[in-house]
Amino acid sequence: MPRRYDPDRRERIVAAAVTVVGERGIAGLSHRAVAAAADVPLGSTTYHFADREELLTAALQRINDAWLDRFEGWLAAVDPAARPADELARYVADCLGPQRAATELAYELYFAGLRLPAVRPLAAGCLERMADLLRPHVADGTTARMLIAAADGLIIQLLLTGRECDTGQAAAMFARLLPGTGSPPDVPTG
């Protein structure tokens, strides 16, 4: 039987790995589950990805790429007349509102790095790239990294607690981190 020409098979397998993790969590990721989701023979997944960790790493890279594309799109749409702190608060609210499913998936894969060292550089690289992208919009690289770290921490807290993003409170927090914006008065918490 001749081999079927399927140049997009590897990409379909990666997309299926993302789907499987989104539906079943990291614990549900297996070559068998991905092969079924991609509608390919099991041997195809093991041909392209030697083990589960390689599948997970490929899925995280795909999710990172989508996350960074979304972040770049957000930066391009930032209103230059608006306060940067307000815009960053809007970004966090978007991550926890309309983009919540994608955010939960990304963070689930990032936290896999606690147990899987191969995943760590991808998670760290994504955050570093976000700081690089933010850098032209703020005073310096340290400020960009600090804002990304604060946004990341806030997103994690809100994901874990299930609370809504209070954009006023988030904006006040970010304003305190931005040089020259002064410290706005405390925003009462609910």
Break the chain into its structural domains and give their ranges: 1-50, 61-190
Topology of domain 61-190 in CATH is Tetracycline Repressor; domain 2 (1.10.357)
**Confidence band for 109, pLDDT divided at 50, 70 and 90:** confident
Higher per-residue confidence, 85 vs 186? 85
Kindly list the distances between the CA atom of residue 26 and the CA atoms of 18, 39, 134, 159, in Å, as whole numbers in the listed order: 10, 20, 30, 17
pTM greater than 0.75 (yes/no): yes
Residue 38 has pLDDT above 60, yes or no: yes
How far is the C-alpha of 71 from the C-alpha of 91, rounded, in Å? 8
pLDDT value of residue 3: 57
Residue 29 has pLDDT above 80, yes or no: yes
For domain 1-50, the CATH architecture is Orthogonal Bundle (1.10)
| Nearest to 12, CA basis, from 62, 57, 51, 68 | 62
